[in-house]
Amino acid sequence: MDKTRFDNLDPEFRPMSLLGFLFAPRKDHKGWSTPSEAARLYFLLVLLGSAVWAWPLTQGKVLLWLGLVVFVATPLLTVGWWLISLVSQRFESRVLVDSLNRIDRSKKESIHSFRKP
């Protein structure tokens, strides 16, 4: 099997596949899990899709339209996010942004912490 030019790199610096990019869980600066890119895209697609679908049904009545969008999007998001979480379990967690790899972990708290001393 031929080695690619990325095989010698540290696994942390290897480029991600498209599936890895979409489904890898993200860790923020405190190590907390945040939604994957697939979950974020799914959220936008469901809201946009249900909003476009609901507009003609509600005949331009904004309050009724908002209610229908929430009513339809809630179960779609619940089931979709659950399925995305099942797929995401196969992927190693990644940092939310690459600059988090350069944080000095020796400090107790970030200078941007909202906790009072």
Over residues 41-98, the pLDDT tens digits come to: 999 999 999 999 999 999 989 999 999 999 999 999 999 989 988 888 887 766 665 5
pLDDT of residue 107: 56
Buried b (16+ CB within 10 A) or exposed e, 55-90: eeeeeeeeeebeebbeebbeeebeebbeebeeebee
Q: How many CB atoms lie within 10 A of CB 9?
A: 11
pTM: 0.64
